[in-house]
Copies of this chain bind each other. A is one copy, B any other.
Amino acid sequence: MSRPYPSCQGPPPPSLREIPAIGKRAPAPCTCRRSPAQIHALIAYLPTHGQNVTGVFRSPQFHPCFRVSPVVRRGRISVTTTARTAANTLTATLNPRIRHSGFAALVTSAEDAAAMIGNGATVGMSGFTGSGYPKAVPTALAARAEAEHAEGRPFRVRVLTGASTGPELDGVLARADAIEFRTPFNTDPFLRDRINKGETDYVDMHLSQLAPMVWGGIYGDLDVAVVEISGITENGQLIPSASIGNNKTWLDRADRIILEVNSWQSAELEGMHDVYYGTRLPPNRVPIPLIRPDDRIGQPYFDVDFSKVVAVVETDAPDRNAPFTPPDENARLIAGHLIEFLEHEVKRGRLPRSLLPIQSGVGNVPNAVMTGLCDAPFDPMTAYTEVVQDGMLDMLDAGALRLASATAFSLSTDAAERFNSNAGAYRGKLILRPQEISNHPELVRRLGVIAMNGLIEADIYGNVNSTHVMGSRIQNGIGGSGDFARNSFMSIFLTPSTAKGGKISAIVPMAAHVDHISQDVQVIVTEQGLADLRGLAPKKRAAALIQNCAHPSYRPLLEDYFARAMRDSWGLHAPRILPEALSWHQRYVETGSMMP
């Protein structure tokens, strides 16, 4: 079937469809996708004025209260009621986070909402690095999947998110074996296990690219969006939660929308977001008008087509992130080497005194670097990054950072409580944006971001594996590291020189998988030291990495390998002993250690 290329990507015109005035017909054709329960709730709300309402709705089924024309799945049915229905569903309007009566009328249970998601559906869910993910509906969906499976019926969905979520989303759904397909990022151990057993298809993607690819039709139609928000305004706009991620895209693209309004999220989040509505599909893209991390180029709320909203679920549940371990000696050493290097770059006139906007991956080592930067002799910095971790809050508190732009929080329980109890203090210092914008190559390159990311292993030439343990098991995913490393002003990777108590070396003869090619890896730092690889040809990169970064227990092995490669390799541009290149990984698989 032939269809025209969409001339523009972007939200539907902000034509928030209001409930028709009492006694009036709803504008026809109504494009709403509400379930009978929602139609019921809507009508339950309206007759409090004591009048009847007539409207035209699309519904998968119809509600028994109504006199309706024949049911057509997803077709249009006429609904008329003269019944004054139970006003007790109106308790939802008491929630101060829901300041729009139309939405209040759609409040329903997580179970009823989950019932609107069919087997095989493609679902766009909120959530980025364990914050702002829906908590009630996925849990109910998992229960439903288990019930279906118990009856011998298949039930699995395709799940798209911003990035990683929490145990109440990926965890419960993975345990229920309810995820057929997952993209673009995951950190949940249960889901990881499904993926590595070959039971769930997983596409780890550059995080800036999922939204445009969904707009471009690559992932098919988006059946449902399940998005956590922190509130709904009087005008029916949505106040984002602790992450923005791909939510704008899910709201714009999904056929139906389920909202979770989470009262646990700070009400002070309102106004901290900057949702840019200028993205388009080519050839209609224009420059993104952001030239400083501080710039606001959008609006603080999501627009939403009310007619697509089928359920509003109330929650009061915390984001669940693991606490950071206090920086250990290795993390402190890594931070020390890095800060010394940055000072050196400032002294040589290659970085300004306030550095350039920093991006930091998630984890204990990057967090330790942030902590170290609190006392570093730089002018107040900015961050243009994916995620605000504990360490960045510390930097903001200490005045070392004057502004952080991100798409999400990823705070430990303690830090989240600290933030929530005093969120107003961060007003003007924190901006959350869609991940399409926080990670946009155009902006990363323009701002000259200093990218700092972690790795699993680097080979002696500086090719980095961030994702595939021993080349075949996925750890998390590439996430935004590729968006930043490729386009940054300076791309730095940080890692302890060994893992698993010394049984794995972070510097290996050959990486068993490559996520960041050597061109995108300019500096590597371990607790042993720092290798500045910029402008170095392969053999000089190898010398620097082996000498400065490898652990002393692996250094002689690497030196021996490299010396023999210099003698025996087919080519001497990047010498390699092919039969031995992956032998360390094989030894680990066989013996549990890379050490011979």
Give residues in A with beta carbon < 8 Å to B: 1-6, 181, 183, 195-198, 201-206, 209, 212-213, 216-219, 281-283, 285-289, 291-292, 346-353, 356-357, 440-442, 445-448, 463, 468-474, 478, 482, 486-487, 489, 510, 512-517, 519, 534-537, 539-540, 566, 569-576, 578-579, 581-583, 585-586, 589
Contacts and interface: CB of A to CB of B under 8 A. Distances in A.
A105 B540 CA distance: 44
A515 B209 CA distance: 19
Given A468-B573, A471-B578, 8 more contacts: A196-B571, A198-B575, A203-B537, A212-B489, A440-B445, A473-B573, A486-B486, A512-B576
A534 B218 contact: yes
A209 to B, nearest CB: 8
A198 B468 CA distance: 31
Given A482-B517, A566-B198, A3 B349 contact: yes
A219 B3 CA distance: 51
A436 to B, nearest CB: 11
Given A441-B441, A578-B585, A582-B579, A356 B534 contact: no
Nearest to A212: B489
Nearest to A514: B514
Q: How many copies does the complex hold?
A: 2
B283 A292 contact: yes
Please indicate which of the listed interface residues A213, A216, A469 has the most CB atoms of chain B within 10 Å of its own CB.
Answer: A216
B537 A573 contact: no
A515 B461 CA distance: 13
Contacts of A1: 347-348
Contact of A4 (B288, B349, B486, B517): B349
A571 B205 contact: no
17 contacts: A3-B348, A5-B352, A196-B573, A202-B537, A218-B534, A282-B446, A283-B292, A287-B289, A468-B573, A471-B578, A472-B576, A473-B570, A482-B486, A482-B519, A486-B486, A514-B514, A578-B589
Please indicate which of the listed interface residues A217, A282, A447 has the most CB atoms of chain B within 10 Å of its own CB.
Answer: A282
Given A181-B537, A589-B570, A349 B6 contact: yes
Contact of A350 (B195, B216, B473): B216
A375 to B, nearest CB: 21
B572 A198 contact: yes
Given A441-B442, A472-B575, A582-B579, A448 B517 contact: no
Contacts of A357: 283
A284 B232 CA distance: 38
A472 B356 contact: no
Given A201-B540, A217-B349, A486-B486, A473 B571 contact: yes
A471 B572 CA distance: 10
Given A3-B349, A287-B287, A571 B282 contact: no
Nearest to A573: B474
A463 B511 CA distance: 13
B535 A213 contact: yes
B2 A578 contact: no
Contacts of A470: 570-571, 578
A324 to B, nearest CB: 27
Nearest to A346: B5
